[in-house]
Structure 1
């Protein structure tokens, strides 16, 4: 279970709340930097259209939820019958998040 800032959400509910055309299902994979860029852009477009429906509507709560989900992600993977990928490039993601604080 993912405990959001305001309520507990099951992994099934998280998957049912799809984000644009680029929704990730338990079987989805992002295989390249370009696919990740496309997914983030679709996520942004979904926020512009439907941000009022998002649980975390401001940057502070979004970043807190991001950190909480990443910490709890082994449980999410276990709940959907998948293994947490050990080959993820966590440094790339951290640098991308940091760069977004100053990049125009």
Structure 2
């Protein structure tokens, strides 16, 4: 993911996944989703992505699946 179009595709895929029941999501409620994003951003030792689209996607993905 390196541009707006691929980020929008990623968002559509996340929305579709969530709409299908989000059974695999660890954080299916907004509060837990935001908490997971914050925890991942705090705990991650990975370097921040230089590409803002990729960085935003990483944060959103972490919000759905980080425990």
TM range (shorter): 0.5 to 0.7
RCO higher in structure (CA 8 A, sep ≥6): 2
TM-score normalized by the length of structure 1: 0.44
More helix by share: 2
**Structure possessing the higher radius of gyration over alpha carbons:** 1
Deviations 1:15-66 (A, max 9, x none): xxxxxxxxxxxxxxx1101111110110110011131331111011001101
TM-score by length of 2: 0.64
Pairing partner for 1:89 from 27, 48, 52: 52
Give yes or no for the alignment of 1:43 onto 2:14. yes
Any gaps of 5 or more consecutive residues in structure 2? 57-67
Distance 1:53 1:87, change over 3 A: closer
Structure 1 runs not aligned, ≥5 long: 1-29, 78-83, 94-104
